[in-house]
Amino acid sequence: MKGLTLHDFARDLAAVIRHEGGGPAIIAGHAFGNWVARMTAVDYPELVRGVVIVAAAAKAYPTGFEGATELSAAVRRAGNTKLPEKERLKYLRMAFFAPGNDASVWLKGWYHEVDEAQFAAGRATKQAEWWSGGTAPLLDLQAANDPFKPRSMMNEIKDEFGERATIVVVPNASHALIPEQPGAVIEAIVAWMRKLPQKP
């Protein structure tokens, strides 16, 4: 888990795709996972038919946004299992869940060692290496209340990659997105998949 880059995570994902038949596969990555998905599409284009980027932060995050420092602190505290659950819930609601959605589903499943490895791998890999997602079609699945993706930045993927990118915004969801609106997430992904051209 030490000394990793996003290329290492991508190599693991490529091994899974090969094991499961060799693809080309549609891969989806949530939050940090979208970096891995896009890196895989860059490094192994022959294995990737399309990339779903789920609740991806804006390209410029964490610099340049009002409240970015508080948001970063909320993420760290939400995952700090040494804090009381009541306090963690406050930070989970602040950073990850839209008002009225059940943030308690994310109280468990936090692993400090994994978080550290992911953070280090992200820092060890230049954004320019993975940002494009290669040449694969992209579904930018956004949450309407995601503080990591201000509405002013909602079209950045489409503006940069044109027709290769499709944007779908899911209402009543924040950065967690999947546990908040699982049905809408599945519906959007399946609808997009059905429109993709078949690879030979």
Please indicate, yes or no, if residue 52 is contained in any of the structural domains.
yes
Please indicate, yes or no, if residue 132 is contained in any of the structural domains.
yes
List helix spans (H) across the chain.
Answer: 6-19, 32-43, 68-78, 85-95, 112-123, 127-130, 156-161, 182-195
> pLDDT by residue (tens digit) across 20-42?
998 899 999 999 999 999 999 99
Alpha carbon 98 to its chain centroid, in Å, reads 17
Please indicate, yes or no, if residue 129 is contained in any of the structural domains.
yes
Confidence of residue 64 (pLDDT cuts 50, 70, 90): very low
Instruction: Tell me the sheet residues that pair with 195.
Output: none
Please indicate, yes or no, if residue 200 is contained in any of the structural domains.
no
Please indicate, yes or no, if residue 1 is contained in any of the structural domains.
no
Please indicate, yes or no, if residue 139 is contained in any of the structural domains.
yes
Listed range (4-18, 31-45, 56-70) with the worst mean pLDDT: 56-70
Instruction: Tell me the sheet residues that pair with 168.
Output: 141
Listed range (38-47, 60-69, 76-85, 105-114) with the worst mean pLDDT: 60-69
Alpha carbon 8 to its chain centroid, in Å, reads 17
Identity of the amino acid at 177: L
Q: Does position 63 have pLDDT exceeding 70, yes or no?
A: no
> What percentage of the chain has pLDDT greater than the value 70?
95
Question: Could you tell me the pTM of the whole model?
Answer: 0.90
Please indicate, yes or no, if residue 177 is contained in any of the structural domains.
yes
At a CB cut-off of 8 Å and minimum separation 6, what does 9 contact?
36, 39, 121
CATH number of the domain where residue 19 is located: 3.40.50.1820
Q: Give 67 or 130, the one with higher predicted confidence.
A: 130
Task: Give the count of alpha carbons within 13 A of 58, CB side only.
Answer: 19
Please indicate, yes or no, if residue 96 is contained in any of the structural domains.
yes
- The total number of structural domains in the chain stands at 1
> pLDDT by residue (tens digit) across 147-163?
999 888 899 999 999 99
| Closest C-alpha among 132, 135, 157, 136 to residue 58 | 157
Mean pLDDT of 1-21: 95
Domain that holds residue 127: 6-195
> pLDDT by residue (tens digit) across 174-183?
999 999 999 9
